[in-house]
Amino acid sequence: MTSDIIALILGLIGLGLGLIAFVTARGGGAAREQAAEKLRLQAEQILAGIRSEADSTRGQISAAERGLTAAIQTGTTGALTKAFEQITQATTAVGASMDTMRQSAVEEQRRIGATLDLQLTTLRESNEKRLAEMQATVNEQLHAAVEKQMEQSFARVVDQFTAVQKALGDVQAVTAQIGDIKRLFTNVKTRGGWGEAQLRAMLEDVLPAGSFEANRKLRDDTDDMVDFAVAMPMRGGAKVWLPVDAKFPVEDYERLIAAAEAGDAEGERLARRGLERRLRDESRKIYEKYINPPVTVEFGVLYLATDGLYAEVARVPGLLEEMSRECRVMILGPSLFPALLRTVQLGHVTLALEEKADQIRALLGATKTEMLKMDVVLGKLAKNASVMTNTIETARTRARAVGRKLKGLEAIDAAQADELLELEASLPALEQDDA
């Protein structure tokens, strides 16, 4: 029983030491470490006291056992009585010691428990305070981050909204321009004027000045005037015109496009048939009003203002060939009409080169005639130069002969010689040449 009590006390002390170690490990701070160290020292002192008392009690029991053993061996009643008294005293002392140890252990356990409760309470409060501070710091940082993110997001939203407003303004401007263009194309007269302006720009860009006329009358039996008449390159100075008329059947074209986008095959077929009928009528009008040989060439041009419209017309099987064959009208768009103008321009350039070649040929003939005349003059000049050369040689020969005869005479000063021979007034040119 004594051993069980000692073991229990030692277990409680070990539990206290374990709690102290746990507090030290979970705590933190110099004050808590000092308190834990103090508790550890107290527990070790108590443990040392309990061990000392336990050793003393164990010694008393051992002495009583030895006395009892000796009394039994001797077999005397006094010895046995004395041994039992010693055992009784030892047992009483052990019981008192155990009671004292039990009370001391209980008190120490209570004190350690109170100390541990205080330390745990302090630790809990400290942890709660630190957690509150950490939570406040985290909340502050999170609030700052959220505010910063919201500000950045709001700034991006504002920028995007500004960009959307700007784009919306551009779209509105483009819509207004499209509306203006639509109103422009809705008016037949304005639409025709736009086609004529486009056609005039091409003519002015490709052909030389004076090679075309606008709104020219080509027949005497009608007052109808073609949009443009292009002068074809012809020899002899006579002007032969190429009639060019601009057309833009936008209603038929829009009906065709709308039917194609809607996937209405029957509507597309009817719209294409209407466009074909319109172009046949316009080609027939050009043939009847503007093609008038020999004032004009034997064909005319129907100009379509857009390549898209020309592409839809070209998709009608045989329409272009039929109009060219029956009405002698070429249907051209903005991509093909400049090629025809380049051909006409090359004709004008070729004709101009031919006229210049005739002038150059006449000039070279006149030059050849003058060269023949110059050759005759040079022949006469050469003949006269030959006679002059012979005369000069004869004079030099006679002068040398006179010089040989006068070789023995002494020459006088040149000025005196001029004065004696009176050569100063008669030969000024020779003096200038000598100078």
> Which residues are 211's β-sheet partners?
none
Cis peptide before 334 (omega within 30 of 0): no
- Long-range CB pairs of 225-234, under 8 A, 24+ apart, other chains included: 226/286, 226/289, 226/290, 226/300, 227/196, 227/199, 228/196, 228/199, 228/200, 228/203, 229/296, 230/203, 230/341, 230/344, 232/297, 232/344, 232/347, 233/344, 233/347, 233/348, 233/350, 233/351, 234/351
Residue 19: its pLDDT value, please? 52
**CATH 3.40.1350 region(s) of the chain?**
191-335
Rounded to whole angstroms, the Cα distance separating 184 from 66 reads 138
Which residues are within 8 A (CB) of 94 and not within 5 positions of it... i.e. 6 or more apart? 2, 57, 60, 61
Q: CA-CA distances (angstroms) from residue 272 to 251, 311, 333, 384, 418?
A: 11, 12, 18, 92, 114
Residue 39: its pLDDT value, please? 61
Residues of the chain predicted below pLDDT 70: 1-40, 42-47, 49-51, 53-55, 57-58, 60-61, 63-87, 90-91, 93-95, 97-98, 101, 105, 176-194, 236-237, 405, 408-411, 417, 420-435
**CATH 1.20.120 region(s) of the chain?**
2-152
> Which residues are 240's β-sheet partners?
232
Rounded to whole angstroms, the Cα distance separating 113 from 5 reads 20
Q: Do 53 and 20 meet the contact criterion of CB atoms below 8 Å apart?
A: no
Residue type, 240: V
Identify the CA nearest to 328 among candidates 300, 303, 302: 300
The token duo for 70 is: 């000796």
Which of left, alpha, beta for 408 (phi over 0: left; psi -120 to 50: alpha)? alpha
Q: Give the number of other Cβ atoms within 10 Å of residue 109's Cβ.
A: 16
Residue 182: its pLDDT value, please? 55
The token duo for 173 is: 């401007």
DSSP string, 295-314: TB-S-EEEEES-HHHHHHHH
Residue 153: its pLDDT value, please? 84
Identify the CA nearest to 291 among candidates 299, 279, 283: 299
The hierarchical CATH code for the domain 2-152 is 1.20.120
The verdict on pTM exceeding 0.75 is no
Rounded to whole angstroms, the Cα distance separating 428 from 423 reads 8
Q: What is the architecture, at CATH level 2, of domain 191-335?
A: 3-Layer(aba) Sandwich (3.40)
**Termini Cα distance of the chain:** 169
3-state secondary structure of 85: helix
Name the strand (E) or helix (H) holding 246. Answer: strand 240-247
Q: Are strands 240-247 and 329-332 parallel, antiparallel or unpaired?
A: unpaired
- Long-range CB pairs of 321-325, under 8 A, 24+ apart, other chains included: 323/279, 323/280, 323/283, 324/299
> Which residues are 303's β-sheet partners?
246, 332
Angle at alpha carbon of residue 82, lines to 77 and 84, rounded to 5°: 95
Rounded to whole angstroms, the Cα distance separating 267 from 250 reads 16
3-state secondary structure of 217: strand
